[in-house]
Amino acid sequence: MATTVQPVEQQNYLNSNYGIKSWLLTTDHKRIGLLYLMSITLFFFLGGFFAMLIRLELLTPASDLMQSDNYNKVFTMHGIIMVFLFLIPSIPAVLGNFLVPLMVGAKDLAFPKINLASWYLFMLGGVVALYGMVTGGVDTGWTFYTPFSTTYSNTNVVTVAIGVFITGFSSIFTGLNIMVTVHRMRAPGMTWGRLPLFIWSHYATSVIMVLGTPVIAITLLLVALERLFHIGIFNSQLGGDPLLFQHLFWFYSHPAVYIMILPSMAVISEIVACYSRKRIFGYNFVALASVAIAVFGFLVWAHHMFVAGISVYAAMIFSLLSFLVAIPSAVKVFNWTATLYKGSVHFDTPMLYAFGFIGLFTIGGLTGLFLASIGIDVHVHDTYFVVAHFHYIMVGGAVMGYLGGLHFWWPKISGRLYPEGWAKLSALLIFVGFNVTFFPQFLLGYLGMPRRYAAYPEEFQVLNVLSTAGASILAVGYVLPMIYFVWSLRYGKIAGPNPWNAAGLEWRTSSPPPTYNFEETPIVTWEAYNYDEISEEKGVEVAG
Amino acid sequence: MSEPVATVKTFMGVFVTLLILTGITVAVSLINLGPFSAVIALTIATIKALLVVLFFMEVRYSPKITMAVIIAGIFWLGILLALSMTDYLSRAWGTYGQ
Amino acid sequence: MEQQRETAAFGMWLFLVTEIMFFGGMFCAYLVYRVSYFDAFVAGSQKMNITLGALNTAVLICSSVTMVLGVHAAKTNRRRATVLFLLLTIMLGLVFLGIKAVEYHEHWIAGEFPGPNFHFDGPDPRHTQLFFSLYFAMTGLHALHMIIGICVVGTIAYFAWKGHYSSEFHTPVEITGLYWHFVDVVWIYLFPLLYLISHKH
């Protein structure tokens, strides 16, 4: 029940000062997290708009809504925006930015100014990429494959590549900041073994950001140089090897999938522990699994190239190595499930997202094993099977985790509770909409429908209509949280410091937290997820 | 501050060594050693790089984590080079004969 | 203070690791093509001016020494020496770029700049052009890092002159030094890889 007496507004990071300047020049990691939140939400809906165009076009077998060249641009821009401008920064730059210092008990990230610079770089890169898209677009696919991108495409490849290049540096800065913070800013007593699994996963993510991103940066730079000066590094007419581009591209872009999924796993670990009221089963294994995924992720990239003409012997090595990633991923899924066992499970909204994540990620991961085995990959390569697979990982996995985390920490971010009923409804809509959208695509792919075509044979129409229908449900599911989150900023119930009665340092400070996070530096004397020490009682509904 | 500071004498020693090594690597490249030319050139380059990293960049006097970071970087570069080469070195296998 | 210094140094080292991978992409391209087209690479390498290359290596080593002496001077509270060494570093950096420009000019005159006007009398001009593409990309990116380095050292020198640094606080000088030495290390590898593949024997 809402209190009638409004509590005296505490000094916090939101009301400490006002005005555009106090936000644009802030070095507070929480405010920068919110800047990122607003920007990537914008990009998410823009990318979603292009997705809508794709699904509308595919409603009918003929290419009637747009011509092939426009369709090429639309799916390319959908991919580039979603991958580089939404998924990669999503959890690390929003929730990671906001929570990493809070969780390790620090005042801020190690380099607050670099953190702000990373947001500006992100916006600059985003604007450059958008400029390229508005002034003619780009049609290479988000993968920029050569020789099409270097020689044949007549679109704004260079501009968009430079945009992606710039956002790459924002990603590097975020990763670098998180790594240094985890190493050097932990509160007294916060040993590595006491870190929340959220931190472990973000640390692993940062390793990928720091070590992988520069490689795609240089690769895109070489593509741009090749287009501008007609030199040949990837162009076979000039002596180069187009496959080298694919090697360098996937050296980053395969691990980039783990930049998207590891932070989601980070969120899921926190949610599952909180709503099962239990310590995560096998903490050490889950922590090390994060690091293992980060390392193994770099050993498997050429499974994207089985049919591209690489040596069959190399393909066998990469195929075998690809199966390795399944081990730490499975460790995580099993350990979350084991955590549920005999836990006192609560079905609140974040937990619904966590369940959604575990199920969808499992399907996405297992179909990944299909693609890692050469024989099946040859059959389904570049079909909708692949599209369905990576959407199960990136949307079913990464976006589910992102939304779950956003709900879980919304009271901490805003100081308000979201309306539980609506939230549950949207979680349900997203789960159903997602499956109706993408499960038919597994079938389509297996039946042989290739990706990236505006037209298709008539026998595929039923499944495509189903997919488009699902996408409409999905769209409603995504718009709902946007509305009720904004609504809750004003009308939501006051949350209090710890509405979920959760463990973790971030819940031990007020909501929203003060600018320097903690009134006094916390001293940690307990293990992570000490739920057996926290009373079973579901938190106070209203603090005051 | 208690950090051990390298002396100017050390720097000068490293400096002279670096110049001598540069001379050696140019001289050796004039002799035809077949595949060993590259091996020697890269070995000398690595010694020079180590000298710069250990003394000029003071890794010798830095916390262990610095060395760990460097090794991780080199290791990841190794992954990139080695796994890429699995493709290029084996691409022609089995193409001939049969 | 010591805490902050170590944090900043750690951050810089992580950044340098990203730089390793940044250049690493090109080293990968270099390795792949060198193994595949060794003879063409030898032919290209023989067009390099080894004298200027070796001279430039020496210049860069000197600049590293002046840099390290500048850091040392900052640590030991010698303001004028700090500024002097930093300015020397900048000067040597400019000398390096000057010599590099002379080399580029020579290649340009000889028609060895890759692209439509590339001209090479040899058995495999296509792949020799590949060598030159990599040569210009790698040394060009290295030169870009030098230019950035010179700007940063210039800024640091200005603040040193203003008396911002002391034995208590000299983190920016040290961090800049790390960057400068890293760029030197990259050249230490570029020199044998590009200039010394093989001479006419």
pLDDT tens per residue across span A40-64: 999 999 999 999 999 999 999 999 9
Q: What is the 3-state secondary structure (H, E, C) of A188-225?
A: CCCCHHHCCHHHHHHHHHHHHHHHHHHHHHHHHHHHHH
Confidence grade of residue A1 (pLDDT, cut at 50, 70, 90): very low
| pLDDT of B4 | 55
Confidence grade of residue B96 (pLDDT, cut at 50, 70, 90): low
Instruction: Note whether C187 and C142 are within 8 A (CB).
Output: yes
CB–CB contact C58 B19 (8 Å): yes
Contacts of A244 in chain C (CB under 8 A): 28-29, 32
The packing angle between helices A112-134 and A157-184, to 10°, is 160
Q: What share of chain A is helix, strand, coil (3-state, %, to 5)?
A: 70, 0, 30
**Residue C114 forms contact with A (CB below 8 Å):** yes
Residue window 95-124, chain C: list those with CB within 8 Å of chain B. none
Separation of alpha carbons A497 and A508, rounded Å: 7
* pLDDT at residue B92 greater than cutoff 90: no
pLDDT tens string A330-347: 999 999 999 999 999 999
Confidence grade of residue B82 (pLDDT, cut at 50, 70, 90): very high
Structure tokens at B93: 């296998």
* pLDDT at residue B98 greater than cutoff 70: no
Alpha helices in C37-124 (DSSP H): 38-45, 50-75, 79-109
Separation of alpha carbons A194 and A504, rounded Å: 10
The alpha carbon of residue C27 is apart from the nearest alpha carbon of chain B, in Å, by 8
Phi, psi of A416 (to 5 degrees): -125, 155
Separation of alpha carbons C133 and C151, rounded Å: 27
Q: Report the candidate in A9, A98, A93 with the shortest Cα–Cα distance to residue A412.
A: A98
- The residue-averaged pLDDT of B31-51 equals 91
Of C11, C126, C133, the CB nearest to A180: C11
Instruction: Note whether A273 and A503 are within 8 A (CB).
Output: yes
pLDDT tens string A111-125: 999 999 999 999 999
Residue window 86-125, chain A: list those with CB within 8 Å of chain C. 110-111, 114
- Is the CA virtual torsion A343, A347, A349, A351 positive or negative? positive
Alpha helices in chain B (DSSP H): 8-29, 36-51, 64-90
Single-letter code of the amino acid located at A348: D
Confidence grade of residue A535 (pLDDT, cut at 50, 70, 90): low
Looking at chain B, which residue has its C-alpha nearest residue C75? B5
pLDDT tens string A220-274: 999 999 999 888 899 888 889 999 999 999 999 999 999 999 999 999 999 999 9
Separation of alpha carbons C168 and A438, rounded Å: 60
Interface with chain A: mutation pick from C6, C15, C21, C108, highest number of A CBs within 10 Å: C21
CA angle in degrees (0–180, nearest 5) for A524-A527-A531: 115
- Token match 């439509």: residue? C116
Contacts of B86 in chain A (CB under 8 A): 311, 313-314, 317-318
Which residues have C-beta within 8 Å of that of residue C105, sequence separation ≥ 6? none
Structure tokens at A48: 């979603």
The alpha carbon of residue C1 is apart from the nearest alpha carbon of chain A, in Å, by 13
Q: Report the candidate in A342, A179, A267 with the shortest Cα–Cα distance to residue A506.
A: A267
Residue window 326-385, chain A: list those with CB within 8 Å of chain B. none
A538 compared with A535, residue with greater pLDDT: A535
Summary mean pLDDT of chain A: 93
Q: What is the DSSP letter of A416?
A: B
pLDDT tens string A154-190: 899 999 999 999 999 999 999 999 999 999 999 999 9
| pLDDT of A2 | 46
* pLDDT at residue A543 greater than cutoff 50: no
Interface with chain C: mutation pick from B2, B22, B76, highest number of C CBs within 10 Å: B22
CB–CB contact A225 C115 (8 Å): no
The DSSP result for C142-158, as a single string, is HHHHHHHHHHHHHHHHH
Which residues have C-beta within 8 Å of that of residue A246, sequence separation ≥ 6? A145, A146, A304, A305, A308
Which chains form contacts with chain C, at 3 or more CB pairs under 8 Å? A, B
Confidence grade of residue B1 (pLDDT, cut at 50, 70, 90): very low
Confidence grade of residue A533 (pLDDT, cut at 50, 70, 90): confident
**Rg for chain C (alpha carbons), in Å?**
19
The alpha carbon of residue C16 is apart from the nearest alpha carbon of chain A, in Å, by 10
- Token match 């390096």: residue? C96
Confidence grade of residue B34 (pLDDT, cut at 50, 70, 90): confident
* pLDDT at residue A450 greater than cutoff 80: yes
**Residue B98 forms contact with A (CB below 8 Å):** no
pLDDT tens string A58-92: 999 999 999 999 999 999 999 999 999 999 999 99
Burial of B57 (0-12, 13-18, 19+ CB in 10 A): buried
Q: Which residues pair with A383 in a beta bridge?
A: A450
Burial of C95 (0-12, 13-18, 19+ CB in 10 A): middle
Residue window 61-90, chain B: list those with CB within 8 Å of chain C. 62-63, 65-66, 69-70, 72-74, 76-77, 80-81, 84-85, 88-89
Average pLDDT, 10 consecutive residues per value, chain C (201 residues): 88 96 96 93 92 96 97 94 97 98 96 89 90 95 97 97 92 96 97 84 48
Separation of alpha carbons C52 and A59, rounded Å: 65
Separation of alpha carbons C191 and B18, rounded Å: 13
- Is the CA virtual torsion A444, A448, A451, A453 positive or negative? negative
